[in-house]
Amino acid sequence: MKCLLFILISCFHSAVFALDELVLWDKNFDQGNSAQIISLIAEATVEEFGPYTLNRSAPLEQGRAVEELSRGRNLNIAIMGNDAGREELLDPIYIPVDKGELGMRICLIKKGSQEKFVDLKNAQQTRQKDIVFGLGSFWPDTPIHSANGFNVYSTPVFESLFRALAKGRFDCMSRSISEISADYHRHKDLAIEVEQKLAFVYPLANFVYLPKDSYLRPRIEAGLRHLLEQGTLERVNNEYLQEHLTELSFFTRKLIILENPNLTLSARSAINEHGLISFEQAKVQRLSNN
């Protein structure tokens, strides 16, 4: 009887502290502070949910990553921009992990083409000047630009956009404020540069996505809410974003506001509550040390 009781206790102890294996989309390790935030979420929940591992998925373009995540294959967690279709297909947690900076966009342009953007003041003038935007086929940004009447050059292969831009196949490769500098420096051997005067802004933020009915949902949501309530998420993002905002002189740029036709009510509410920009009040929240 004592031996059986020991086995039962040992099994229960093992189940309580079973290792959670988090396989995060590979792009989240390469861009922004997404991997850091997932690590903080997991660390914050070790006492309640036990140990974990955080591993990188195999290389996946965005469209394939959404498909694989929906099937629970090759990855089980990702941070991506809001989009009505993927929000229906997957299980998002409606707390933006980036203060909505994914929708704060600046152009990478062909070297020597700054003059083309100098006089632009709004979306109508951008359309009239026939600015062509280069975007990924499965990015949530792509239907946003199309819905705002812009011409779009799209491809499912991310890296090919840089070569196409250098060849003049489009005018603006739209990148978020946390992406553009790293992208430029990785491709500075090409004839491209950062546009200096404008920013295109729309309600788009990075959210955590899980497969439907994922066993990780309670842990990830609890950890994310803990980071939010303790102010950790705010502090980490402020530290990370301030450098980019300053480097790009974001608040001195002309902001061109675009509509997002694929914006769900849940995503809109979350972005307005927690983002740098409230699209209900057209208000920009400057960081505390800005």
Q: pLDDT tens digits for the chain (290 residues)?
A: 444 433 333 344 444 558 999 999 999 999 889 999 999 999 999 999 999 999 999 999 999 999 999 999 999 999 999 999 999 999 999 999 999 999 999 999 999 999 999 999 999 999 999 999 999 999 999 999 999 999 999 999 999 999 999 999 999 999 999 999 999 999 999 999 999 999 999 999 999 999 999 999 999 999 999 999 999 999 999 999 999 999 999 999 999 999 999 999 999 999 999 999 988 855 555 554 33
Instruction: Verify that 208 and 78 share a domain, yes or no.
Output: yes
Instruction: Verify that 192 and 258 share a domain, yes or no.
Output: no
Q: Which of 201, 236, 257 is the last residue of a domain?
A: 201
Instruction: Verify that 63 and 25 share a domain, yes or no.
Output: yes
Confidence (pLDDT) at 4? 40
Q: Which amino acid is at 219?
A: R
Confidence (pLDDT) at 31? 82
Let me know: does 72 contact 211? Beta carbons within 8 Å. Answer: yes
Please indicate, yes or no, if residue 30 is contained in any of the structural domains. yes
* Structure tokens given for 127: 């359309």
pLDDT over 90 percentage in the chain: 88
The total domain count for the chain is 2
Q: Which domain holds residue 185?
A: 103-201
Instruction: Verify that 94 and 142 share a domain, yes or no.
Output: no
Instruction: Verify that 70 and 137 share a domain, yes or no.
Output: no
Q: What is the rounded distance in angstroms from the CA atom of residue 187 to the CA atom of residue 179? A: 12
Q: Which of 201, 230, 259 is the last residue of a domain?
A: 201
Instruction: Verify that 57 and 84 share a domain, yes or no.
Output: yes
Let me know: does 206 contact 248? Beta carbons within 8 Å. Answer: no
Q: What is the rounded distance in angstroms from the CA atom of residue 20 to the CA atom of residue 54? A: 9
Please indicate, yes or no, if residue 248 is contained in any of the structural domains. yes
Confidence (pLDDT) at 10? 39
Confidence (pLDDT) at 32? 85
Instruction: Verify that 224 and 253 share a domain, yes or no.
Output: yes
E-assigned strand segments in 12-126: 20-24, 52-56, 78-81, 91-93, 104-110
Instruction: Verify that 96 and 230 share a domain, yes or no.
Output: yes
pTM of the model: 0.89
Q: Which of 172, 201, 230 is the last residue of a domain?
A: 201
Please indicate, yes or no, if residue 5 is contained in any of the structural domains. no
Query: Nearest to residue 132, comparing CAs of 104, 160, 157, 161?
Result: 161
Residue 185 belongs to domain with CATH number: 3.40.190.10
